[in-house]
Structure 1
Amino acid sequence: MNQPASNILGKVWLYCTVFLTGAAVMVIELLGTRLIAPFYGASLYVWTSVISVTLIALALGYFIGGRWADRAKNTGLALIIALSGLLTLVIPWLTGPILLATDSLGLRMGVFVSTLVLFSPSLIMLGMIGPFAVKLATSSLEGVGASAGSIYAVSTVGSVIGTLFLGFYLFPQVGSREIFLGLGIALLALALVVVYFERQHLRLIITLPPVAVLTIIGIFLIPLIAEPANNASKADNHKVQFERESLYGWVRVIDKPAENFRLLTVDASTIGAASISHGENVLTYQKIVNLLPILAPNIKHALLVGQGAGHMAMTLKEYGIVTDTLEIDPAVAEAASSYFGFIPTGQTIIGDARYEIRQLSGPYDLIIMDVFTGGSEPTHLLTVEALAQLHALLTNQGILALNFVSFLDNGQNAALASVAKTLTQVFPYQQVFISEPDTDFNDFIFLATNHAMNLNDESLSDTHRTWLKQRLVNIDQARGMTLTDNLSSLEHLQIRKSEHYRRMIVDLFGTSHFIR
């Protein structure tokens, strides 16, 4: 027997509703990391918190929604969707105050609490939609299984489409704040549409007024939410010269005129620094690049993984060395060229290192890995497997130079020891140098080779020899673990480092500077 047209239309609008709200769940989840990352970083702890909060909120939404659907007499989907729209709309507005309020809780607890407060209200409301939709779709007890399965299947398909649309198209084109704003408005508009279709179950006089009130409130809030507080411009001691939200972070070029230096930052990590007056590099750890052509006079071709501001490639150019650069973030590459005077001498590669390295044939006389900043750790680039890929690109006399930020702890730091131990699995020889000898928290430069390097070599001047020997450190590898693609605890081992580095940056610019 054919179903009446009204029944078919009733199911179509219901399935469209759960499809769109399912997409909204994933948009909020994925964008949540981008709102949190500039303040707390884009570490595993941010992703863990956002995913956990999403699951907690949906579980509560399913439970509360199921109870409410059985008891509600005058409440329908439209009101729930309108509430979720309004709560989504205010997320960017509340982000600054919530992040500032949770700052004192530390990295892990601060991330979790801020995520819970910001995203769970809207996600709970979106979770409630499923049980209500199941009840509306079920005409008899016999069909409850099919109805529930269909509703949640369509919702899941919506989540998949929403994820793909956001990641592949929307996010590269539109800022996260604007997407949140658009999503909130879209949910409010959807609620008004649902009011019309729900008239078969609930009278318009009951469903329309609350939805209309919530929509009007949302409209009045839009001007407050649409224009973010420009915290950076209010500060007297620094000025933002360049700002771009990319797929990988919040890229900015920041001037500190009083101190005469310019920084290139991604979220809360500094990946380049130069003087404003002359443009010379001011990062101490990168000075060792001047000595590499002396330690290995036959260097002709180099690879820089983690281009940053490009200073190391420009230093190598002075020695006639052609350097291919590999940078994951096109916004970083743009900032380096426009604000730090970076001019490529070799191939410029934009992409993820693990993938792009497999496409390279080499050979290289020198490979520099400068991706381990004070922020989150790209742990997949510091495993036995990743280092073996780099080793395969080196000549027999080649050098791998790896920069790593950590505490020294008298050579007993477990993260530092793990890096040394992992390098030992791939390279027979290594030496470790500290950037600033009198400071415990530091940049450490590992030089890994197939051959022993002689710091007493006659090619080194007394000044260079003294500089290196003063910075040579011993690492107790017994304190570390071998890092592999299967198991790497590096991010866990670096919690103290991440919190300390973040505090340094916050002290430099202030907490409000990292709120969008």
Structure 2
Amino acid sequence: MEAAIRFSVAIALVLVLSAAGLTYEIAAGRVLAPFFGASLLTWTTVIATVLGGFSLGSALGGIVAERPRAVALRNVRSALVATAVLMAVSPALLGVLYAWGARGTHGMMISVFLVFFPASVFVTLPSPLLAKLAIEARPGREGSSLGFVLAAGSIGAIFGAILAGFVTLPLIGSTATFVACGAVALLCLPFVRSGGQANPGVTVAAAGFVAFAALAGSPVCQYESGLSCLHVAQRGPEVRLVSDGTVQAAERVTPVEADESTVELVLSYTEWMWARMDRDLGPEASVLFVGGGGYTLPTKLLASRQEAQAVAVEIDPLVTEVVRVHMPSAAEMIAQAGYHVSEDKVSEGRLGIVHADGRVFLNETDQRFDAAVMDAFSSGSVPAHLVTRETFARLREIVDGPVYVNLLDAPDGPLARGVHAILRALYPHVQVVQGQVNARGRTNILFAASRQPLDPLDSSPDGYGPTQISDARAFTDDRGWIGHR
């Protein structure tokens, strides 16, 4: 006699598996960042790959659904076991491929396909049979039954996206999220009972593997939120804050009083930016920093100018907390002078901290500043919405003095050309320098843009000098930066 699944159970399984699939998709985009960065290209590849897997899984599942009922149910159970194993092993497999030399856009695309495509196929394969069983459970009401199946799939996808972005990734991290998705697939097994003899050994082995992955799998990130994958690296007397594989800030670890003589800048690009700020700004300057990072430049500014004010806009509160724990000079400055702008708009503190997106802050603030530093990064690049003509036009409205910009790009690369075109259109005086090119062919390209002429610097950090940027189209909100290829 053919086994049957109740209508409510079939609908619930469709919903749960859809939620697991979308949670897996978003976790895939997050776990890629430490290896390949997070950009339009990485997210496009992940979405296309996972949706391709969903499509093939649905097609194969339709063929499975036409088989004898007991055979079809056994096939679905096997697909759930494969889903659990493949999802749990995903971050480890990604790390192996990276260690074997997967690099660049092509390496990223191959890695995404090999790691995330198979699980995407298997998690979707049960859905056609579940839909068939749901329709059969309500003879004469096939139309509404099919509508409920489709709705359950959509609701599950919505729930999975919210669960990943707001709950699992911020709270338990990407590695545990993959394991949880696999565990959910295994929990569906008792509700998919075949008419023949089941093989409990396979299920037990899969459950053991998923449990092992949960206990033995090392987290991808030392500190992780829904926005950042952070590591703190100690190199001799220096501590470095690394976000998604890119060094964001560095500081000497000797805990000392924050003053001009002891706050030492470690990264060469910050030395040039500070030299430029020190030449351009007065003793009571008010400076906006879009991108808190390690808070090294705000710390240097406030330590060297006792009457200066700073507002640092950092999108991720986790970054600020890690700085408090691991970067002594910045932590001391935050403790002495820091205050949260959203909580205390009138404060005696000199370092206002805003945990918000930089563009949102620019759009909403009514403060004015004497200068601004644009040094926000997502993985190895600047978020696209922070390098558009509209962003810098708004910045020009609220900043009376110079604007300093830090980019990571190839010499005369597309990002540098687009930003250069924006600054030249808005400011009559623009200086640009670049540092030494790294092994990946990129370098820090630094801009200083001003309404007034910029005095030359007495000296520049080693390796930094003027560079030529070709003409290009300015980025806009409509046609902006798409990320490194």
Q: Which one-letter code corresponds to 1:122 in the other structure?
A: A
Deviations 1:125-158 (A, max 9, x none): 2222221122212349975554333312211111
Quick one: which of 210, 220, 230 aligns to 2:208? 220
* Aligned counterparts of 1:261 and 1:358: Cα–Cα separation in 2: 36
Deviation at 1:271, TM superposition (A): 0.2
Do 2:232 and 2:239's aligned partners in 1 also have CA atoms closer than 8 Å?
yes
Do 1:325 and 1:346's aligned partners in 2 also have CA atoms closer than 8 Å?
yes
Quick one: which of 297, 312, 319 aligns to 1:312? 297
Quick one: which of 474, 478, 484 aligns to 1:482? 474
| Pairing of 1:95-494 with structure 2 (within 5 A) | 95-101=91-97, 104-139=101-136, 144-195=142-193, 202-203=194-195, 205-206=196-197, 209-210=198-199, 212-228=200-216, 243-257=222-236, 260-277=237-254, 280-288=264-272, 289-297=274-282, 299-317=284-302, 318-320=304-306, 321-341=308-328, 342=330, 343=334, 344=338, 345-372=350-377, 375-395=380-400, 398-408=401-411, 412-436=412-436, 441-455=442-456, 464-467=457-460, 471-478=464-471, 480-491=472-483, 494=484
Q: Which one-letter code corresponds to 2:444 in the other structure?
A: D
User: Residue 91 and residue 154 in structure 1: after superposition, are their counterparts in 2 closer, same or farther (change >3 A)?
Assistant: closer
**Which SS does the other structure have where 2:250 is aligned?**
strand
Do 2:434 and 2:467's aligned partners in 1 also have CA atoms closer than 8 Å?
no
Deviation at 1:445, TM superposition (A): 1.7
Question: Identical aligned pairs, as a percentage?
Answer: 22
* Aligned counterparts of 1:159 and 1:77: Cα–Cα separation in 2: 23
Q: Which one-letter code corresponds to 1:336 in the other structure?
A: V
2:107 is aligned with 1:84: no
Deviation at 1:303, TM superposition (A): 0.9
Do 2:435 and 2:465's aligned partners in 1 also have CA atoms closer than 8 Å?
no
* Aligned counterparts of 2:381 and 2:438: Cα–Cα separation in 1: 25
Identify the range of structure 1 (386-395 vs 145-154) with the bigger mean alpha-carbon deviation.
145-154
| RMSD across aligned positions (CA) | 3.0
Deviation at 1:161, TM superposition (A): 1.6
* Aligned counterparts of 1:364 and 1:75: Cα–Cα separation in 2: 70
* Aligned counterparts of 2:438 and 2:479: Cα–Cα separation in 1: 33
- Give the aligned partner of residue 342 of structure 2: none
Deviations 1:110-137 (A, max 9, x none): 2222222222222212222221122212
- The structure whose residues are more often helix, as a share, is 1
User: Residue 449 and residue 61 in structure 1: after superposition, are their counterparts in 2 closer, same or farther (change >3 A)?
Assistant: same
Do 2:20 and 2:184's aligned partners in 1 also have CA atoms closer than 8 Å?
no
Identify the range of structure 1 (322-331 vs 342-351) with the bigger mean alpha-carbon deviation.
342-351
| Pairing of 1:23-62 with structure 2 (within 5 A) | 23-62=19-58
Deviation at 1:159, TM superposition (A): 0.9
Deviations 1:440-477 (A, max 9, x none): 8431221111222232xxxxxxxx42439995524344
**Which SS does the other structure have where 2:66 is aligned?**
helix
What is the TM-score normalised by the length of structure 2? 0.85
* Aligned counterparts of 1:373 and 1:154: Cα–Cα separation in 2: 34
- Give the aligned partner of residue 260 of structure 2: none
User: Residue 436 and residue 132 in structure 1: after superposition, are their counterparts in 2 closer, same or farther (change >3 A)?
Assistant: closer
Do 2:242 and 2:249's aligned partners in 1 also have CA atoms closer than 8 Å?
yes
**Which SS does the other structure have where 2:188 is aligned?**
helix
Do 1:43 and 1:377's aligned partners in 2 also have CA atoms closer than 8 Å?
no
What is the TM-score normalised by the length of structure 1? 0.80
Do 1:40 and 1:107's aligned partners in 2 also have CA atoms closer than 8 Å?
yes
Deviations 1:65-108 (A, max 9, x none): 11111124423457525633543344343533444335534322
Q: Which one-letter code corresponds to 1:185 in the other structure?
A: A
Do 1:57 and 1:124's aligned partners in 2 also have CA atoms closer than 8 Å?
yes
Identify the range of structure 1 (78-87 vs 305-314) with the bigger mean alpha-carbon deviation.
78-87
| Pairing of 1:58-73 with structure 2 (within 5 A) | 58-73=54-69
Do 2:223 and 2:229's aligned partners in 1 also have CA atoms closer than 8 Å?
yes
Q: Which one-letter code corresponds to 2:477 in the other structure?
A: D
Deviations 1:285-319 (A, max 9, x none): 11131441332326521111111111100110112
Deviation at 1:24, TM superposition (A): 1.0
Deviation at 1:270, TM superposition (A): 0.7
Identify the range of structure 1 (33-42 vs 62-71) with the bigger mean alpha-carbon deviation.
33-42
* Aligned counterparts of 1:132 and 1:77: Cα–Cα separation in 2: 8
* Aligned counterparts of 1:137 and 1:447: Cα–Cα separation in 2: 64
- Listed as ranges, the gaps of 5+ residues in structure 1 are 1-6, 196-201, 233-241, 456-463, 496-516
* Aligned counterparts of 1:166 and 1:97: Cα–Cα separation in 2: 20
- Give the aligned partner of residue 13 of structure 1: 9
User: Residue 77 and residue 452 in structure 1: after superposition, are their counterparts in 2 closer, same or farther (change >3 A)?
Assistant: farther
Q: Which one-letter code corresponds to 1:475 in the other structure?
A: Q
Deviation at 1:60, TM superposition (A): 0.6
Deviations 1:380-415 (A, max 9, x none): 1000011112112112xx11111112232xxx4443
**Which SS does the other structure have where 2:226 is aligned?**
coil
User: Residue 37 and residue 434 in structure 1: after superposition, are their counterparts in 2 closer, same or farther (change >3 A)?
Assistant: closer
Quick one: which of 85, 89, 95 aligns to 1:93? 89
Do 1:270 and 1:374's aligned partners in 2 also have CA atoms closer than 8 Å?
no
* Aligned counterparts of 1:46 and 1:155: Cα–Cα separation in 2: 25
Q: Which one-letter code corresponds to 1:50 in the other structure?
A: V
**Which SS does the other structure have where 1:254 is aligned?**
strand
Deviation at 1:180, TM superposition (A): 2.0
